[in-house]
Structure 1
């Protein structure tokens, strides 16, 4: 009765989804044909029409008319087919449209367990995690009872007895089963092993039929190696688009979920962002620190390609008002830290642009969320030092240079760290008496470990020439002991510079 509400292409898909347990496969076949005829085909109209409100009769005669989304008025089997179809083609659908459909289905007066499970699985595909399991508590109890009843599955009986006298499923039934196991990888959604095995002899002679979903098509697998690969691939990997296994879990308010989907679509889009794209990031000013952590994890920002960083940073920097310290620190850490730590060669232009733009606008969050962890990392190398030196020279004022110098007092002075200290001192950081005294103590404690380091020698020369006015009588003895153990060719120059200070 509702078919007339759909356009021609959508009507064909609705008819397919209404055609029983093989509806999902028929809809996929129809959709692929439509795509070949029109590569620009969109399924948004289909979902929008299904989400339209409809006036319907109440369940009881004396109650007033009620308004429900159209999708709630279709049969349960149609809803199952629809959700399975959407799961398989979700990559060509906007996340916001899928989320709207799931919200409409949640208004259904009758809650079908399979529809609920498929809805939750779709939310997981969109990285909107549920704490509760896919199956209901009653279903979990039944599964436990089934498992307890077939413990001896390796003995005669066991699983073979469970499937004895059962009719081998037809292809259409197997397609329906795909909807029941959609927690596995898209390209390997299900694996069905049908075997008539009452004893060992029959088991060896029986024909094994293997089925899997490959590129959204049901195909038969005859090779045992293919069977093994399909099984291992589906068990060993999380669904595409899921966050990393160790990422923070939690539910976001509905408005933040919608914004997350919008941001995700922007990050995955190859098109240029317009001015309205910035509006999607305004939600960052509405989040608390834990929600920002969850958003960054769900968006998998540490894995974001470097070429996407500049436009993302531009959108973040154009927000008004500015982000809070905690929000900015979380974003900077997610966007930059892992990329900086993994550098094995000079940073790319995109990474340098992103880091300098964020550091110029949010120097304190960058110092604590990026620079400090990099300094503390024992594997810090020259590529990291080169990038940090660029930030120090072009983005940090004297106050933050002083902060970074104090951070170096808590770590061992490797060649990379010495390069950063030299850059800080060479930029004539405004050292007060207390910080300079702390620096001298660190200098004395570190000097025996870097006697042959040219970077340490050059840094000492900078101290003796640019900070001679800070050197007191108490410091002169410490500096003498440092120079006595130095083994570089600059030793005589350093001793001469110290001698001039001693006679002034």
Structure 2
């Protein structure tokens, strides 16, 4: 009945968020498709709908007095968790007042749920509210401390490894600490990434999430649906390349799988289910081992006609690749091929890149977009391929992330093409980011006085983003136009003159 409070596209989002442990991923997919169909899609009205008061009564066989409660508090706890994680990923396109209102409404729910409370705190930190408030309660902290004292020391035989059913060589060697320290050496706390678009479901992460979040009575089933503590959502730094690992140091099971995969690639035979199972070795490697695997099978040099078969097997893996594994795999498989393009990308390459970007957008941004943009030899062939991905695979969040990447590189005509493609999709740019962009325009303008592509990009800014242009922005853009020496200068000046700043 609660779903019926919503209509049309908003109802589809609610149904997606109600679909259990995959609710966030599905809701993001639904919203992405809605944005493609209508670039003006807004979440503000959708979120405000959850803040409306509803008449209800206390649960139980006996009818109690009626009272009002925000609609969001009437939904199941798992839905509230999914909604908060969904909002976290898209908070940059929502007014802060709307977010604050939603958080205030959720905090009215009683008794509070530990996961919901942690996610609320995480979002409040994002909004600059109470940065010192811990993500877990004092009771949870006491239980963690008690658990740590009950576990064996990490430097003794068995130690932490026995608790996680891992080889002793994989166990951490530091003393016990609070959440975030209980992790394998292969995945440092600073390298943990939560990408809900790719639904990381590594067994070791799930075990750690269950231990650190066990606060509510009878929540074991609920905890199995969540894989990481909310503070893992904060990280956005790329993973450092892992140290070299001797090939002989690979475990025997990985060595065997690598040889099978290498033979499969070199034989050009048909891939059946048993062949696809070999690709599961990717999920068995830590980052350093994966680099050795990629080198052993010479992943950068795989013939392009093999790419769709390999890609299909990777996409069929369960669980999905973790962020670090997907990033390493994509970088090794695709980066060299794309940077060395001397003719338009083949159909096999385009299909592979598009499929991987749709499933793993965040690893693709770090492994491919970032490195291609940084390459001084980037040309139109690379730009055309990246533009296809921007148009067909990336949602607004990753488009904004890609735009920010362009602030760190020297622009050329190819980079201008990518920026123009990003802007043409009508991004929902915050005032702070738009200010950074206009400053970047000003700093680069002197190198493109006769560039028609730069002039067209400026015209897109003045026409599609006129509502975002303040008096300060208008002054900066006016200085850019003074340097322009193309046939579009009069059109640019006319567009700038029509803008009434706020």
**TM-score when normalising by structure 1:** 0.50
Where does residue 478 of structure 1 map in the other structure?
A: 476
Where does residue 496 of structure 1 map in the other structure?
A: 494
Are residues 503 and 360 of structure 1, via their aligned partners in 2, closer, same or farther at CA, if it must alter by over 3 Å?
Answer: closer
Mapping of 1:64-75 within 5 angstroms? none
Return the offset for 1:370.
0.7
Where does residue 315 of structure 1 map in the other structure?
A: 313
Where 1:322 maps in the other structure, the secondary structure is coil
Mapping of 1:18-417 within 5 angstroms? 249-250=246-247, 251-417=249-415
1:271-312 deviation per Cα after TM superposition (whole angstroms, max 9, x unaligned): 211122111011211111101111001111101111110100
Question: Is the Cα contact below 8 Å between 2:407 and 2:437 reproduced in 1?
Answer: yes
Return the offset for 1:266.
1.0
Are residues 500 and 278 of structure 1, via their aligned partners in 2, closer, same or farther at CA, if it must alter by over 3 Å?
Answer: same
Where does residue 455 of structure 1 map in the other structure?
A: 453
Question: Is the Cα contact below 8 Å between 1:476 and 1:502 reproduced in 2?
Answer: no
1:254-275 deviation per Cα after TM superposition (whole angstroms, max 9, x unaligned): 0100000110111112221112
Return the offset for 1:486.
0.1
Are residues 291 and 484 of structure 1, via their aligned partners in 2, closer, same or farther at CA, if it must alter by over 3 Å?
Answer: same
Aligned mates of 2:318, 2:468 — CA distance in 1: 43
Aligned mates of 1:414, 1:466 — CA distance in 2: 23
Aligned mates of 1:448, 1:294 — CA distance in 2: 45
Where 1:501 maps in the other structure, the secondary structure is coil
Aligned mates of 2:302, 2:284 — CA distance in 1: 23
1:20-62 deviation per Cα after TM superposition (whole angstroms, max 9, x unaligned): xxxxxxxxxxxxxxxxxxxxxxxxxxxxxxxxxxxxxxxxxxx
Aligned mates of 2:492, 2:466 — CA distance in 1: 12
Aligned mates of 2:339, 2:427 — CA distance in 1: 26
Question: Is the Cα contact below 8 Å between 1:248 and 1:297 reproduced in 2?
Answer: no
Return the offset for 1:344.
1.6
Aligned mates of 1:462, 1:478 — CA distance in 2: 16
Are residues 283 and 499 of structure 1, via their aligned partners in 2, closer, same or farther at CA, if it must alter by over 3 Å?
Answer: same
Structure 1, unmatched stretches of 5+, are 1-246
1:99-124 deviation per Cα after TM superposition (whole angstroms, max 9, x unaligned): xxxxxxxxxxxxxxxxxxxxxxxxxx
Aligned mates of 2:428, 2:303 — CA distance in 1: 38
Where 1:379 maps in the other structure, the secondary structure is coil
Cα RMSD (Å) of the superposition? 1.5
Where 1:488 maps in the other structure, the secondary structure is coil
Return the offset for 1:503.
7.5
Are residues 248 and 452 of structure 1, via their aligned partners in 2, closer, same or farther at CA, if it must alter by over 3 Å?
Answer: farther
Q: Which moved more, 1:279-288 or 1:465-474?
A: 279-288
Aligned mates of 2:275, 2:357 — CA distance in 1: 22
Structure 2, unmatched stretches of 5+, are 1-243
User: In terms of Rg, which structure is larger?
Assistant: 1
1:68-93 deviation per Cα after TM superposition (whole angstroms, max 9, x unaligned): xxxxxxxxxxxxxxxxxxxxxxxxxx
Aligned mates of 2:343, 2:433 — CA distance in 1: 33
Aligned mates of 2:304, 2:313 — CA distance in 1: 15
Return the offset for 1:249.
3.9
Aligned mates of 1:283, 1:483 — CA distance in 2: 55
1:469 equivalent in alignment to 2:467: yes
**How many residues of Structure 1 are paired with residues of Structure 2 in the alignment?**
259
Where 1:346 maps in the other structure, the secondary structure is coil
1:421 equivalent in alignment to 2:419: yes
Aligned mates of 1:253, 1:503 — CA distance in 2: 64
Return the offset for 1:430.
1.8
**TM-score when normalising by structure 2:** 0.51
Are residues 503 and 260 of structure 1, via their aligned partners in 2, closer, same or farther at CA, if it must alter by over 3 Å?
Answer: closer
Relative contact order higher in (CA < 8 Å, ≥ 6 apart): 2
Question: Is the Cα contact below 8 Å between 2:365 and 2:402 reproduced in 1?
Answer: yes
Aligned mates of 1:313, 1:377 — CA distance in 2: 25
Question: Is the Cα contact below 8 Å between 1:309 and 1:350 reproduced in 2?
Answer: yes
Question: Is the Cα contact below 8 Å between 2:413 and 2:453 reproduced in 1?
Answer: yes
Return the offset for 1:502.
3.9
Question: Is the Cα contact below 8 Å between 2:469 and 2:501 reproduced in 1?
Answer: no
